[in-house]
Amino acid sequence: MENPRSAFTFLQDLLDSGGARSPLLSRMPESTVQAVGKMLAPVLASIESKDSSNPRLSKSAVLDLGKQIEESCHSHVQRWRYKTTLNLLIEACAKDKLLKPQYLNIPQQVPRHLVVTFEGITPDALQIALAVDSLLERSPVPKPAANWSYEPGIWEFLLFYASLTLSSHVLIPKLDTKILHLQEKHLHSKWLTLPSMRLNPELVGGGLRFPLTSQTQRCLQYLKAAIRAHYKPKGDYLCPDEWRTAQWFKFKLANAWLSFLQLQMKMVAPIPASIRIRKLQELGRVVALLDGIPPFLVAILSGHPEGAVDPMTQLSFGRVFARSTIPRSGRSMPPPPRSNGKLRNRAIGNSELFDLVEQARKGIRRDMSRVHRLEIASALERQLGTNRPTIGSSGRSCRNAWCYGQWVISMLRAPHRPGTVMTWSSAIAAAFFPMFANHDLSSWSAATWVSHTQAAMRDHETSAAKKAIREFYAFLVEEGFTPLHKDVGWDSEELRKHKMRHPMPLIGFQEFRNAMSYCEREDFPGPLVPVLRTKLILGFLLGLRSMEATWLRLSDLELTPDPILRIEHTKTEHGIRTLHLGMLLPEPYLDELRAFRSARLLEAGGNPDAPLLATKEHPSRYDSSYLASLAGIPLRRAVQEPVCFHHLRHAFASWILIRLLAAAGTITLDTQRLPFAQESLFQNEALNALRPLLFGFGPQKQGQECLSHALVVVCRLLGHSNPTTSLTSYVHSAEILLSILNRRQLVPRGKKVAG
């Protein structure tokens, strides 16, 4: 009789589900999974026929499969995808202990748009770019040559454009157009704000902030003086009207650039195509790397979608970087941040059935067994009943809440992973009031589904809400609770992932201390004060999610021999992590955690499984949203911006990246110019404590500062699946990092390389 748990039958089940039963294969196309699975299946059948009790995949068999893939695929990308899928299929079998595996050796692939390549860049072109940069370093700025034949101002514009690209490393797309449309409001002391397609300009004074080197500042003043002397631009524009045309840049300025190079570089031979003005930004990326700009910052400066980041708000920028006064008392608190649906629901409607569903939903755990899931589904079904409420007896919100509950029950009984059920159901719960509460689902049109999904995506700024609503709609149609529409338009332009970036408040160290002290001044019950202070520490200094902090047990916080914090109940499997507190926390806050844990252990009668964030009066675990909302009160009083508890996690990511780069030696912090650099966490002792996270416990080797794992460390500390999420959504200090690095440009490049 065939073993039902053999690798062969397991593979057949995977192929029947299109790979959906294995999270390892979730990102691979189903057609690829099927094709590779058919190659692997006869190999598994063969080895199991020889030894079914201990099937072992030999290295030669894997190499033969690799050769088969090489022969059947027609492109490098297809070969890489097939080989990776083969390894994932083998890993899926090995994970269930059905096979002793061997794997293909596949070089890791990196997206081309995040790599600075030398394709099309010749050594001559790079040498010319470096020579232009050296020319601009001279003081005073070079005057137009005697035989310069173009109208006034063009020479000065070329100097500014070249300096902006090669010295200040502003490499965003369509830079030429943005510079020609600059207005005085975009120019600040030592900073330039450029409009961005991915950033709401109304929220941050025009776009992304770029720090200017002293060289670029001189060229800008030189350009402004030339324009004032010869032109009268209309309105607030920096450049004359006649310059702001495509023809002017394409022909006149392009030719003027070639003439500039011939005169200044004394070039006689034909100028390489890769040094033309339109190619200057490609050279600028290589120059930026030579100047020591980390590759992830080059990606941000180049404006790639994967490098699009949320900058800090103007108010935060003034507080943490420009030495603006930090409010310490008195003024009225701003409102909570832009609602995601959870904050507004109770004020708009109420539903006892909805509360029943929410109570059941919050009992779902990612690691729960199928038996436990079925128990929750059965209990919820008994509470809701099998008959749909009528409008007359209970109202629309109650009817829709019943439909929502039936959907949750169906997902609990389906083969979905618990994490998927949690993600989808929480998206509907967050958008329930008012989107789903006040309109009977049986009367929704296709346009209603689109408009409500668009609103949910706008509030959540993620496509996860769209996926959840789409699944909810499919369930309702199948059960006859809402009409089937021929084309809802799920793939329409309105429902594509929102690409607009929003500036985010950045909480500084003084504001954190103020919030800690405000916990004691607010009208909180006395026993709650140390709980809230501990939660603020966990968020700001350790980067925990609100839910992660709330679910901590006393046993998760170990203080001897080395203090560590284990995070096991978290959002995804990648979030399970152990934090070494001695590397991350200042001693005073570590002492506060020690004292709080000792007091809680005494209150809990020595029970190590008792909740960490609890009190003697409330020994059970608090609701995560309740504690987060309470923590938001002192935070908003301290920050004077619309912030919530989750902004502490963003602050941790922003500050820890600066600390890691300083610990690696990539940047040097000027305590006179940077107020935050005076904090204890940026002093040598604290930075040295971080170094094992980057380089291990051995001595740092030469060149390691250029190859540090700072982004990977940030990713692991936050519990993310990849560094891109950490960088683009959580780090709001990129402009500060660039300013620190640009200050270093005052050192001549030759000396810097030698040192």
Q: Does the pLDDT value for residue 658 go beyond 80?
A: yes
- Residue 649 burial (10 A CB sphere; 0-12, 13-18, 19+): buried
**Residue partners of 731: CB distance under 8 A and separation at least 6:** 309, 653, 654, 657, 714
Indicate the length of the chain as a whole number.
755
Q: Does the pLDDT value for residue 438 go beyond 80?
A: no
CB 462, CB 455: distance < 8 Å: no
Greater confidence (333 vs 238) lies with: 238
Q: What is the DSSP string of 123-171?
A: HHHHHHHHHHHHHHTSSSPPPPPTT--SPTTHHHHHHHHHHHHHTS---
Q: What is the DSSP string of 158-219?
A: HHHHHHHHHTS----TTHHHHHHT-BGGGEETTEEEE--TTB-GGGTTTSEEEE--HHHHHH
Residue located via tokens 């509360």 = 355
Res. 347 pLDDT band, cuts 50 70 90: very low
Query: Each residue of 264-302: pLDDT tens digit?
Result: 777 555 666 667 887 888 888 888 888 888 888 888 888
Res. 459 pLDDT band, cuts 50 70 90: low
pTM comes to: 0.71
- Alpha-carbon span 371 to 354, nearest angstrom: 24
- Mean pLDDT to the nearest integer, 395-409: 82
Query: Each residue of 441-453: pLDDT tens digit?
Result: 888 888 888 888 8
- The predicted structure's pLDDT at residue 204: 41
- The predicted structure's pLDDT at residue 548: 92
Is the Cα dihedral 434, 438, 440, 446 positive or negative?
negative
Q: Which of 734, 748, 750, 751 is nearest to 293 (CA)?
A: 734
- Residue 638 burial (10 A CB sphere; 0-12, 13-18, 19+): buried
Greater confidence (411 vs 344) lies with: 411
Are 123-309 and 504-731 the same fold in CATH? yes
> Within a 10 A sphere around the Cβ of 663, how many other Cβ atoms?
28
Instruction: Provide the 3-class DSSP secondary structure of residue 430.
Output: helix
Q: What are phi and psi of 649, to 5 degrees?
A: -65, -40
Query: For the chain, what percent of residues have pLDDT higher than 90?
Result: 23
Residue located via tokens 């390389």 = 753
Query: Each residue of 300-329: pLDDT tens digit?
Result: 888 765 456 778 888 888 888 765 444 333
Instruction: Give CA separation, 677 vs 136, 213, 594, 687, 729, in Å.
Output: 31, 20, 27, 11, 24
Instruction: Give CA separation, 237 vs 186, 224, 234, 240, 466, in Å.
Output: 10, 11, 6, 7, 41
Token couple for 282: 């490609």
For the chain, state the CA radius of gyration: 30
Q: Which of 467, 517, 473 is nearest to 496 (CA)?
A: 467
Res. 579 pLDDT band, cuts 50 70 90: very high
Query: Each residue of 15-32: pLDDT tens digit?
Result: 776 555 566 666 677 778
The CATH code belonging to domain 123-309 is 1.10.443
- Mean pLDDT to the nearest integer, 380-385: 87
- The predicted structure's pLDDT at residue 76: 67
The mean pLDDT value of the chain amounts to 80
Which residue type sits at 488?
Answer: V
Q: Does the pLDDT value for residue 392 go beyond 50?
A: no
Angle between helices 528-540 and 646-664 (to 10 degrees): 50
- The predicted structure's pLDDT at residue 59: 85
> Within a 10 A sphere around the Cβ of 590, how many other Cβ atoms?
17
Q: What is the DSSP string of 368-429?
A: --HHHHHHHHHHHHHHH-SSPPPHHHH-HHHHHHHHHHHHHHHHHHTT--HHHHHHHHHHHH
- Alpha-carbon span 352 to 399, nearest angstrom: 11
- The predicted structure's pLDDT at residue 513: 95
CB 401, CB 469: distance < 8 Å: no
CA angle, 305 as apex, 300 and 306 as ends, to 5°? 70
CB 315, CB 640: distance < 8 Å: yes
Q: Does the pLDDT value for residue 518 go beyond 90?
A: yes
The CATH code belonging to domain 504-731 is 1.10.443.10
**Residue partners of 386: CB distance under 8 A and separation at least 6:** none
Query: For the chain, what percent of residues have pLDDT higher than 70?
Result: 81
- Alpha-carbon span 383 to 414, nearest angstrom: 20
- The predicted structure's pLDDT at residue 750: 45
Greater confidence (610 vs 174) lies with: 610
Query: Each residue of 171-221: pLDDT tens digit?
Result: 887 788 888 888 888 887 788 887 654 554 444 444 678 889 888 999 999
CB 712, CB 727: distance < 8 Å: no
Counting other chains too, the contacts that 369-378 makes at CB distance below 8 Å and 24 or more residues apart are: 373/412, 373/413, 373/418, 373/421, 374/412, 374/413, 376/412, 377/408, 377/409, 377/412, 377/413
- Alpha-carbon span 259 to 276, nearest angstrom: 11
SS3 string of 481-534?
A: CCCCCCCCCCCCHHHCCCCCECCECCCCHHHHHHHHHHHHHCCCCCCHHHHHHH
Which residue ranges make up each domain of the chain?
Answer: 7-109, 123-309, 345-495, 504-731
- Alpha-carbon span 22 to 547, nearest angstrom: 26
Cis peptide before 561 (omega within 30 of 0): yes
- Mean pLDDT to the nearest integer, 333-362: 55
Instruction: Provide the 3-class DSSP secondary structure of residue 364.
Output: coil
Instruction: Give CA separation, 55 vs 45, 50, 62, 373, 597, in Å.
Output: 10, 8, 14, 33, 49
Q: Which of 713, 701, 718, 714 is nearest to 665 (CA)?
A: 701
Token couple for 735: 């402009």
- The predicted structure's pLDDT at residue 562: 85
- Mean pLDDT to the nearest integer, 677-705: 81
Q: What is the DSSP letter of 312?
A: B
Token couple for 505: 């408040």
Strand blocks (E) in 536-621: 557-558, 564-567, 577-580
